[in-house]
Amino acid sequence: MNGFQSPSGRDYLTGTKDRCEDINECKTGQARCKKVSYCRNKIGRYICSCLNSSWFYWLAGITEIEHPECYVYETKKCHKKTFLEAGNNTMDINCAGAFKEAGKGVSRVALITYKSLGNILDGSFFNNSRGMQGVKLNSRVVSATVGLQDKVSLSEPVLLTFQHTQPGVESVQHFCVYWEGSEEGGSWSTEGCLRAGRNDSYTTCKCYHLSSFAVLMALSPKEDPVLTVITYVGLSLSLLCLFLAAMTFLLCRPIQNTGTTLHLHLALCLFLAHFLFLTGIRRTEPKFMGQASFGSQQKFPELHLDLRQMILVPNIRGMALCAIIAGMLHYLYLAAFTWMLLEGLHLFLTVRNLQVANYTSASRFKKRFMYPLGYGTPAVIVSVCAVVGHKNYGTSTHCWLTTDKGFIWSFMGPVAVIITINLGFYFRILWILRSKLSSLNKEVSTIQDTRLMTFKAIAQLFVLGCSWGLAFFMVEGVGKTVGSAIAYAFTTINVLQGVLLFVVYCLLNRQVRMEYKKWFGRMRKGGGTYSPEMSHSTTHTKMIHPPAAMGRRKSKRKPPPKKKMTGTLETQFTCPFCNHEKSCDVKMDRARNTGVISCTVCLEEFQTPITYLSEPVDVYSDWIDACEAANQ
């Protein structure tokens, strides 16, 4: 019987006094273990263990693997960079840094590949919180160790390359895992390990600790083609609308005020974020770099390059590019939300003026405060996150934030706060509109158009990011049907934010529409280049005559050029939105027969150039338009 012997030396027992004894193959030299492994005797058999570590004792005890074959490569001199290879799996490690992290007296590093351990510790030990299907190992299990410690954290990552056990499998997703032991036994975890690159035959992992690793593969979740079309078509349309809106806010002088400044920066942030999302969100596949040598085509014909060089020179720029894209998206979307918060505050203060005439208004928004808040606050958040958790920028599927250790809340947390504040602004705005507009006279209500203001307030809610609140309900527990409905609503509303912003702030603004009409009129007539800077809005609906012209009706004919007005004209009128009188000054240049009307409306200052001051001046109509523009 193998593993046993009789003291008498006979192979067969004939008497009752004969007995069997276990053969200690480790002492007799019958054990066939690899050079660096050691022998452990068992009753009737023996086990070869690769390292004298408590983790490996436990592993050998639960697996009961007989003659596990280990591929071991140990360096004798390890000072800087070291390249280890075991069973077509490789490791590139900085020994100096690894020894420093492991502690004093450590001077060896090893890479071990197990042939059959993956049959036991398979994909079923993976904590499948992502809902992946068909998870299983696609490599052999390897252990990378420094000294006798089970797990060593590293400041500089180690690069591990695994040969696939099932090469050329299509429509699967590969991700790097390590064995995380626990009192319950342990499981595969992705924490601290990122996929740095792959092809049909190999996967390279970047890990920040030494332990036991493997490569898992799972069926890639099938993307909804309808959602993909909505995303790309909607974002493309939003980019066009955001560009048109930004050009309108930048070039259309008659509407330029604090509100349009906020609109401009909101449009710029959303434009850059959407453009970067379209072009860079999937740049997650860095390619290997290197040149073939040492006859590597014969050893690894699938790669056509030397495995040693491939590990030493992975496309670090490609990996860094994905992290940079993720960081820029993090900043741009946070900046957009910050400007959305300023939009909400500005809208609230503007509507509040309907209730209290001299209340702190939108004009108190100073640019020296707007820019530090709009761009500085997101920069501080992203800088802190980059210093604390730079490893969490970029995933194996998207250039975005990882969900490890709740890092995604560095984005969702500020978003939740902004959404909550804007909801408070929104309900307060509706309350003011309901109570104030009902007390105004019919003429004022007609001018203001209650329905338009209410619609803008509701539309503002979506522009201010309340649609992102749907993201908090996109969890697995809601069910497939409800989850799909939320995904469609979330995608559609968010990708069309640019369109909504253009419609609300440009197409529904009377002054902007008038500027568009003038521009298209110039285009049709071919009357030269249109200059938005020289444009101004004058709608003659009610005429206020200068003192010299009062009491007599003016002819529609153009007066003689020599007839000019002198002095400064002051006229009083009631601003329906401020509900109190304001003084307008008209100052003229006698020689040029031109002048400037300056007036303070709703605590906003406006100036409009005018010509032919001998004509009646439609101050009332002009400044109704200006006051309405202040409330956009």
Give the chain's domain count: 4
Task: Please check whether residue 15 lies inside any domain of the structure.
Answer: yes
88/213 same-domain check: yes
- Dist. CA 612–CA 617, nearest whole Å: 9
The answer on 149 and 9 residing in a single domain is: no
Neighbours of 272 (CB within 10 A): 19
Mean pLDDT by 10 residues, the chain (632 residues): 64 64 74 66 68 45 43 52 83 78 67 81 65 74 77 82 82 81 77 82 87 77 80 92 93 81 92 93 58 34 38 52 91 93 81 58 63 94 91 80 83 90 84 65 45 65 71 63 82 86 87 86 66 41 37 43 42 40 46 49 46 39 50 47
Q: What is the pLDDT of residues 151-200, one digit of tens each?
A: 778 878 889 999 988 887 666 778 888 888 777 677 888 888 888 888 88
Same domain flag for 501 and 400: yes
CATH number for the domain spanning 587: value is 2.20.25.190
Q: Residues 66, 148: one domain?
A: no
Whether 233 and 333 map to the same domain: the answer is yes
Residue 303 lies in a domain: no
Give the CA angle between residues 284, 285, 286 to the nearest 5°: 110
Instruction: Mention every residue, 6+ apart, whose C-beta is less than 8 A from residue 440.
Output: 448, 576, 579
Write the CATH number for 262: 1.20.1070.10
Q: Residue 21: which domain range?
A: 1-73
pLDDT of residue 312: 35
- Same domain for 469 and 607, yes or no, is no
In a domain, 545, yes or no: no
Instruction: Describe the chain by its helix, strand, coil percentages, rounded to 5.
Output: 45, 20, 35
Q: Is residue 627 part of a domain?
A: yes
Residues 395 and 498 in one domain: yes
Domain shared by 169 and 249, yes or no: no
pLDDT of residue 298: 35
Q: What angle do CA 81, 84, 85 make, to 5 degrees?
A: 155
320 phi, psi to nearest 5 deg: -65, -35
Question: ∠470-240-321 over CA atoms, to 5°?
Answer: 70
Please, which residues have CB within 8 angstroms of residue 386's CB and are 6 or more apart in sequence? 327, 393
Residue where one domain finishes, among candidates 516, 533, 551: 516
Instruction: Give counts: helices (H), strands (E), the chain.
Output: 17, 20
The string of DSSP letters for 522-533 reads: HHHHT-S---GG
Q: Are residues 166 and 281 in the same domain?
A: no
165 contacts 242 by C-beta, under 8 angstroms: no
CATH number of the domain enclosing 161: 2.60.220.50
Please identify, among 57, 73, 89, the residue that sits at the C-terminal boundary of a domain.
73
In a domain, 234, yes or no: yes
377 within a domain of the structure (yes/no):
yes
Q: What is the pLDDT of residue 386?
A: 92
Burial tier of 338 (Cβ tally within 10 Å: 0-12, 13-18, 19+): buried
Q: What distance in Å separates the CA atoms of residue 532 and residue 526, rounded to the nearest whole number?
A: 16
Residue 178: helix, strand or coil by DSSP?
Answer: strand
Residue at 562 is within a domain: no
| Residues 543, 618 contacting (CB under 8 angstroms) | yes
Place of tokens 């249109």: 530
Can you tell me the distance from the alpha carbon of 142 to that of 161, in angstroms, rounded to the nearest whole number?
10
Q: Is residue 558 part of a domain?
A: no
**Quick one: angle between helices 510-525 and 619-630, nearest 10?**
110
Same domain flag for 360 and 490: yes
Do 205 and 229 share a structural domain?
Answer: no
Are both 461 and 324 inside the same structural domain?
A: yes
- Cβ atoms of 20 and 13 within 8 Å: the answer is yes
- Domain-terminating residue out of 36, 51, 73: 73
DSSP run (H or E) holding 174: strand 172-180
Query: How confident is the model over 90-125, as pLDDT tens digits?
Result: 888 887 777 776 666 556 778 888 887 777 777 677
